[in-house]
């Protein structure tokens, strides 16, 4: 049985403008110890998906209208707030995007770590402090013992993110959700943080959902990739398979927009940008949401209904009427 099974998750926000369908039918599964990269541009719903799994979306105004997430067979969306508080920490750990604002500025690092430890584990104050130092050393924070007494604003962005990671893994969760963990950091630090996450994951046998808008990051770290667009998953495959044979026009565009990495053959001479903008998710039409920006969109199934997610090859799913392999064979037929 997979560790995490997200099935047809739909999270809608009731705002003054209407019902915003931020997550609209997302499904994927995650095996123990593996990493899923959840990719997409900002606003596509990847963060809301993560928050929905952890039960952190503010309800109201949000509501998980259908579907859910099974963690080790347990339906998370059916749990009460109290029960969720026991799940978060020991079973699910979260690393948030902005280390500058994700730590309480009025409490010391030590206070925040020990609080988490003593909340879920039965430790004395002294034991908790010792564990806290160990955790900080695990995340490779120099002068770990001194850091306990520091307040967050004294540390740099990279150091704060390490603290966040320490907090997330403190209770040895089975699942780690990292939402753009390196985006807000310097380029030089980004790689370090990603390496750290990967090492920790392997060490502790955690499964990880890595949320990012950066395909380069995903290529390094993820076993499987799910591409999200406008609240839906539009393609899902093993990482190598996806990079070698992208099917969905959006995925192709994302990869085309990637600056050439060393040793790779350049697809374009310039950085390709994707023209247009994502659709407004308040009452979207029942059609392919990428169609307005898709170079291959045709009158048939593209504007009449939402294309279903289908398995175009074993282990490779795509939500499109014009996946690359079908386009190629069409061209060949002409």
Site for another protein in 162-221 (CB under 8 A): 164, 167-168, 170, 179
In the complex, the smallest distance separating the C-beta of residue 30 from another protein, rounded to whole angstroms, is 18
Interacting residue with another protein among 53, 57, 196, 215 (CB under 8 A)? 57
The residue (of 59 and 327) whose beta carbon lies closer to another protein is 59
Site for another protein in 104-143 (CB under 8 A): 104-107, 115-116, 119-120
Interacting residue with another protein among 129, 140, 151, 172 (CB under 8 A)? 151
Asked if residue 89 binds another protein (CB under 8 A), the reply is yes
The residue (of 213 and 316) whose beta carbon lies closer to another protein is 213
User: What Å distances lie between residue 215 and 82, 92, 205, 236, 252, CA to CA?
Assistant: 37, 24, 24, 13, 11
Using the contact rule CB under 8 A, the part of the chain among 70-78, 90-98, 123-131, 259-267 near another protein is: 90-98
Task: Tell me which residues touch another protein (CB under 8 A).
Answer: 13, 15-16, 20, 22, 42-43, 46-48, 51, 54, 56-58, 60-62, 81, 84-90, 93-94, 96-98, 101-107, 115-116, 119-120, 151, 153, 164, 167-168, 170, 179
């Amino acid at each position: 049985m997979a560790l995490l099974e997200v099935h047809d998750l739909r999270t809608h926000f009731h705002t003054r403008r209407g019902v915003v369908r931020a997550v609209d039918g997302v499904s994927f599964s995650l095996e123990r110890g593996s990493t899923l990269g959840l990719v997409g541009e900002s606003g596509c719903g990847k963060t809301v998906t993560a928050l929905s799994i952890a039960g952190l979306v503010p309800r109201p105004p949000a509501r998980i209208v259908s579907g859910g997430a099974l963690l080790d067979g347990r339906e998370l969306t059916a749990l009460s707030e109290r029960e969720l508080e026991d799940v978060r920490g020991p079973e699910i750990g979260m690393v948030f995007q902005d280390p500058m604002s994700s730590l309480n500025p009025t409490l010391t690092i030590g206070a925040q770590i020990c609080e988490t430890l003593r909340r879920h584990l039965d430790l004395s104050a002294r034991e908790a402090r010792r564990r806290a130092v160990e955790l900080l050393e695990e995340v490779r924070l120099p002068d770990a013992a001194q850091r306990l007494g520091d307040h967050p604003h004294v540390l740099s962005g990279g150091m704060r993110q390490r603290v966040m990671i320490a907090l997330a893994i403190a209770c040895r969760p089975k699942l780690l959700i990292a939402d753009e963990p390196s985006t807000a950091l310097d380029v030089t630090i980004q790689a370090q943080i990603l390496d750290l996450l990967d090492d920790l994951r392997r060490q502790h046998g955690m499964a990880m959902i890595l949320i990012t808008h950066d395909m380069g990051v995903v290529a390094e770290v993820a076993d499987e990739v799910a591409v999200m667009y406008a609240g839906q998953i539009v393609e899902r495959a093993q990482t190598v398979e996806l990079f070698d044979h992208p099917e969905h026009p959006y995925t192709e565009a994302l990869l085309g927009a990637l600056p050439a990495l060393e040793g790779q053959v350049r697809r374009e001479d310039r950085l390709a940008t994707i023209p247009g903008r994502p659709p407004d998710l308040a009452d979207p039409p029942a059609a392919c949401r990428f169609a307005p920006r898709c170079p291959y969109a045709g009158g048939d199934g593209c504007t009449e209904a939402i294309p279903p997610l289908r398995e175009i090859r074993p282990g490779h799913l795509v939500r499109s009427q014009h996946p690359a392999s079908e386009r190629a064979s069409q061209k060949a037929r002409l």
